[in-house]
Structure 1
Amino acid sequence: MQVPQIRLHQTYAQIGLRTTQPVQEMEQQPAEQSIKQVSSTLTIERKPSQLNIDQEQMWNELNLKSPSVLSEDMVNFAKQEALEAIAQKAQEGDQLAEIEKKSDMIVSIAESKANPGPIEFNIGFIPSYGSVKIHYTPSELNVDWKQGGAEIETIPHKPIHNYKPGKTEVYMRQMQNLQIDFVGGNLDRNT
């Protein structure tokens, strides 16, 4: 006797995926840049030093005078000598006018002229201290510095960005199925 059987045959459902990849495009244009260089400037102004030496007093004291100074000294010396001679003659005249004193004035005047006093003498070739005048003006230096630099001008460009998103589609690749088979004897459905 054959025992009746129920056979089940099942097929599972299967899904499929269709994927479209995303697309991304980026383009970047370089920035525009202009650079202008401003140069630095350096200005130097120099006033040279100056040395002045005045030796006129020293040469005068050494009796090596210039013609103008020598002539002026001679004029002054002549005036002084003339005034001293006039004063001496006036004094001698006053002495001779005092005849009432009964003194011998002519003899005393003659003795003073015959025996003059000692002559004053000094070393004449050494100039006095400070007879050479020195004046020195130091040099002056003015430095003017102006710093330069760079003038930079930049024009940026934004990036160009295109994006197409991807997608995924889900579909049924295989439908589920269940088959039921009855194998074996006859079945009485009523019993």
Structure 2
Amino acid sequence: MRVPQIRLESTSARISMNSTPATMEISQPKADLSIEQPKAEMNIERTPSQLTIDQTKAWEDMDLKHISKRIEEAADQGHQDWLAGLARRSQEGEDLMRIEDGGNPIPQHAQQNSEPPIYDFNIGWIPSHDSVKINYTPGKVDIQWKRNDPIIQAKTNKPTLNVERGKVDIEMEQRASLKIDFDNLYYRGIKYEQKI
């Protein structure tokens, strides 16, 4: 006796997936930078030193005098000699006026007027002490300066982004199926197949 049979045969579904990864490119342009440094301003004012040396007195002590000085001294000496002569003649007149008082003024006057004067002499070519006048004024230096700040100009540039999206391709590679096979007395050899 044959027992009825049902045979089931199934096939699973299969899918295929192909993916393309996303890509991203980032580019950062350099910033634009401009730096300018103005020069410092400097002003220098200088007063030069001054040295004066006056050696007129030293030359005069060595009898190396200017002509104007010699004329001045000669005029002064002439005035002094004139006054001395006037005083001498006045004194001689007084002596002669009192001749009755005794004495012999005429020979005395002749002797005084005939004798040369006695001059005091010293070394004449050595200048006297402190005869050279020296005057010195030191110089001055005035420095003024001004520092100028640098001029900086900066401009930032935004980054450049290039993005490519990824994708996934899904396909049905094999569909699911169910195969049923009946084997009994009444339905002998009937097959039934259903794809899902």
Shorter-chain TM-score bucket reads 0.5 to 0.7
2:130 is aligned to: 130
Give the superposition deviation at 1:66: 1.0
- The one-letter amino acid paired with 2:102 is S
2:26 is aligned to: 26
In 2: Cα distance, 1:50 partner to 1:176 partner: 119
2:64 is aligned to: 64
1:155 is aligned to: 155
For each residue in 1:7-61, what CA deviation from the matched residue of structure 2 results, as whole angstroms up to 9, or x when unmatched? 9978677675553422323343333333434234555555554433222111111
- The one-letter amino acid paired with 2:130 is G
In 2: Cα distance, 1:38 partner to 1:97 partner: 102
**Structure 2 alignment gaps of length 5 or more:** 1-5, 186-196
Q: Contact between 1:39 and 1:149, CA under 8 Å: does it hold in 2?
A: no
Question: What's the secondary structure of 2:130's corresponding residue?
Answer: coil
Q: Contact between 1:95 and 1:105, CA under 8 Å: does it hold in 2?
A: no
Question: What's the secondary structure of 1:38's corresponding residue?
Answer: coil
Q: Looking at both structures, which has the greater relative contact order when contacts are Cα pairs under 8 Å and sequence separation is at least 6?
A: 1
Identity score, percent: 38
**Structure 1 alignment gaps of length 5 or more:** 1-5, 187-191
1:189 is aligned to: none
Higher mean Cα deviation, 102-111 or 162-171?
162-171
For each residue in 1:141-162, what CA deviation from the matched residue of structure 2 results, as whole angstroms up to 9, or x when unmatched? 4555555664332222111324
Distance 1:182 1:115, change over 3 A: same
Alignment of 1:177-188 (within 5 A): none
Alignment of 1:36-185 (within 5 A): 36-40=36-40, 44-99=44-99, 102-104=101-103, 106=105, 108-110=108-110, 112-113=112-113, 118-147=118-147, 150-166=150-166
Q: Tell me the TM-score normalised to structure 1 length.
A: 0.65
In 1: Cα distance, 2:102 partner to 2:10 partner: 189
In 2: Cα distance, 1:178 partner to 1:92 partner: 185
Q: Tell me the TM-score normalised to structure 2 length.
A: 0.64
Q: Contact between 1:12 and 1:175, CA under 8 Å: does it hold in 2?
A: yes
